[in-house]
Structure 1
Amino acid sequence: MTQPPAPKPIQRKPRSEYALIQLLPNMLTVAAICAGLTAIRFGVQGNYLNAVQLILLSCVLDGIDGRLARILRADSAMGAELDSLADFLNFGVAPPLLIYYWALQDAPRLGWLSVLVFAVCCVVRLARFNVSTHAGDPKDVAAYFTGVPSPAGAMLVMLPMYLSFAFDDAQLLPDLVLCLYMAGIGLLLISRIPTWSFKTTKVSRENVKYFLVAFAFVAAALMNYAWLTLIALCLGYVATVVWALVTQPRKG
């Protein structure tokens, strides 16, 4: 009597392992998400100063995690999706909610409408960027973005708060003006206006020393005159957008 054939052993796929340092970019992204959520909590509690600082911290982390992933060759599809979700939370949800709690609760309907407009514009901006990136659109590696990037939009939309923190006696903008300002920044996110991409900017060897001196100056100004420096940086960025609008053709 023939014996039935022995069952074949189950082939197990080799377990993938990651070095801890390769997880560092995703850890920074998770830290940015925690910063954004905590900023919302501080906004609800009325601790606006710390809330703004946490959103600014999330901007810094956003600028680091992607580049670090490429340096470590640890970029992945999951990391890209996690980064996009973090961007929406930190730049599309936390800043407008913070402004709403800070100044627009006296106009809840109009204020909430402006929050929704900004948030929807931000998520559309991120979706458009993700689609063009997956499609390998060469325009995304050019010297100019299409529309204002979401981190820059978050920085700009909080400009009235910087002014209030820098000048203790500064009067808040009227609710209507603040709502229109927030919605206007949101529309800039989904506009076709070309905006300067710092990712592709290169510095010649001869000018590196001047760039480092300028960076040290800005860093020292941020540590000593944080809000005034942020105001200046926002106005400088607006100037680059206006310059690009004048000198560069709009992207279709």
Structure 2
Amino acid sequence: MTEGRNQARHNRPAVTSNEQSPPIRSAGVRLLPSAITILALCAGLSAVKFGLEGRIGLAIAAIGAAAILDGVDGRIARLLDATTKIGAELDSLCDAINFGVAPALVIYVTLLHGNNGGWIVALVYVVAIVLRLARFNVLTDDENAPAYRKDYFVGVPSPAGGLIALAPLAAWEQWGTGWWTSFPFVAAWTVGAAALIVSRVPTMAMKQVSVPPKMAALLLIVVALVAAGTITYPYVVLVALVLVYLAHIPYAIHSKRWVAARPETWDIPPGERRALRRSSAQRRSLTRLGMRRSKPKGRSSRVAGRGRSRR
């Protein structure tokens, strides 16, 4: 039987290079990223329904689910090599609804509807999201941009902006009414989120962030703590994540300025670039310490010289 199999394999015609192999990926697999995008859209629209019904917790959860799905669909598209132009356009349109229209309506019907200026605040936020997405599409098509531009977003991305705008609602769900639910604060917070979204302030692109192997265990512990906290205190975790994200913006500004001033680092991987930045910072620290140590010696020698001249 074994000899028969070997003979059959020997007699099997060889596949030439001119023969076309059958497609590996089916149409259903290639549609998977777009299907996830549609699921995110359904979550965003469901958030509007929950907000109109007064179920704020479910509305926040639905927008959070839309943000997670939005982060997954692009990665799956790149993994399956299923990126398409229509998929990119569909993603932008869904983001405008999920992180623009949905958060604005939920915030308006809960915290802003009692004031005549509340609708203006909601409109400003939605317009900022739409402008940010339009600018993102234009910058994505720029083939002459330096390679390091992929490591940074221009302004706060729309999913993060939507979650930032929802922070007062999360605080309301956790701690009840307070200064964080007053109209002046909510209006200023929402307009501030819109300003960050449409601004040119750089923020880190999470898809380019790499974790050193020695930090992998610590990262897993942090992820476990965040997951446990999300189950137990979801609104506290959301507010904390928003504050941490806002706190990282000064670091992102400094990081992009450092890279932009050094063209020789534009085409190297982000991990190597961070290592160079850390080494240069250490050298500057050592130089400053050396200068500080040399000053007392120079001063003491000058004092000694003055003493000898007086004698």
2:118 corresponds to 1:73: no
2:195 maps to: 187
Equivalent position to 1:123, from 84, 105, 130: 130
Question: Structure 1's 78 and 18: CA in aligned 2 closer, same or farther, altered over 3 A?
Answer: farther
Distance (Å, rounded) in 2 between the aligned partners of 1:49 and 1:171: 20
Aligned 8 A contact 1:144 1:196 in 2? yes
Deviation at 1:230, TM superposition (A): 1.0
2:5 corresponds to 1:22: no
2:213 corresponds to 1:202: no
Deviation at 1:241, TM superposition (A): 1.3
Distance (Å, rounded) in 2 between the aligned partners of 1:52 and 1:192: 27
Distance (Å, rounded) in 2 between the aligned partners of 1:54 and 1:217: 22
Q: Which has the higher helix share?
A: 2
1:223 maps to: 231
Which gives a bigger RCO, structure 1 or 2 (Cα 8 Å, sep 6+)? 1
**1:18-67 CA distance string (max 9 Å, x none):** 43222211111001111111111111122211111100100000000000
1:102 maps to: 110
Counterpart mapping for 1:1-252 below 5 A? 18-107=26-115, 109-136=116-143, 137-138=145-146, 141-168=149-176, 170=178, 172-245=180-253, 248-249=256-257
Distance (Å, rounded) in 1 between the aligned partners of 2:191 and 2:123: 9
- TM-score if structure 1 supplies the norm length? 0.86
Aligned 8 A contact 1:162 1:227 in 2? yes
Question: Structure 1's 175 and 140: CA in aligned 2 closer, same or farther, altered over 3 A?
Answer: farther
Please give the secondary structure, in 2, of the residue aligned with 1:142: helix
Gapped regions of structure 1 (runs ≥ 5): 1-16
Deviation at 1:162, TM superposition (A): 1.0
1:8 maps to: none
Which entry has the higher C-alpha Rg, 1 or 2?
Answer: 2
Distance (Å, rounded) in 1 between the aligned partners of 2:149 and 2:255: 19
Distance (Å, rounded) in 2 between the aligned partners of 1:145 and 1:21: 29
Distance (Å, rounded) in 1 between the aligned partners of 2:176 and 2:94: 32
Please give the secondary structure, in 2, of the residue aligned with 1:73: coil
Please give the secondary structure, in 2, of the residue aligned with 1:192: coil
Distance (Å, rounded) in 1 between the aligned partners of 2:105 and 2:131: 18
Distance (Å, rounded) in 2 between the aligned partners of 1:30 and 1:49: 22
Please give the secondary structure, in 2, of the residue aligned with 1:50: helix
Deviation at 1:221, TM superposition (A): 1.3
**1:226-245 CA distance string (max 9 Å, x none):** 11111111111111013334
Aligned 8 A contact 1:164 1:171 in 2? no
